[in-house]
Amino acid sequence: MELNRKQRIINIILTFIQYVGFAVFIVISPIIADGIIWQLMEFLGILLAVWAVYVMQKSKINIAPQPRKNAILITNGPYSIIRHPMYTSIIVAITPLIISHWDVYRFSFLLFLYINLILKLLFEETLLNCYFPDYSNYSKKTWRILPCVF
């Protein structure tokens, strides 16, 4: 699947923002949440990320929204419930770090990250719909990020 110029620019910008966001996050925030509940939530987010990466190994999908040539649609494991478990894992792992170490800068970062992830997943779903003929059916049976919410 070949992207047009506008799509390539969007692809680069959204992925760049995500990488820079993580770099900034590492600088501005502790990596362990305060409190057992927040730590458990952080751990579950990390566990979901590991599971999602493990299941996705056979696909040719990457961190950029554009599917690679010969990519296959993964619909098992966490992908049988949520279409974007990696985004879910980011939200579940980072949110407790921001909340338990509260300040306006971290909260602003969190909002910025959420907005970027939502824009990226909407763009990605447009591309996946074009690349995978079964994606439309798959998307009717699964949640985007959070079951019963979005």
Walking along the chain (150 residues) 10 residues at a time, the average pLDDT comes out as: 83 88 81 94 96 85 74 93 95 92 87 92 92 95 88
pLDDT at residue 61, as a whole number? 66
**Residue 125: its pLDDT value, please?**
94
Residue 136: its pLDDT value, please?
A: 95
pLDDT of residue 118: 93
| Distance, CA of 9 to CA of 20 (rounded, Å) | 16
| Helical axes 5-28 vs 104-131, angle rounded to 10° | 150
Q: Do 64 and 19 touch, CB atoms closer than 8 A? A: no
Give the integer Cα–Cα distance in Å for 91 and 13: 20
Identify the pLDDT of residue 43: 97
- Where exactly are the structural domains of the chain? 5-141
pLDDT at 60: 64
Residue type, 50: V
Q: Give me the pLDDT at residue 71, please.
A: 84
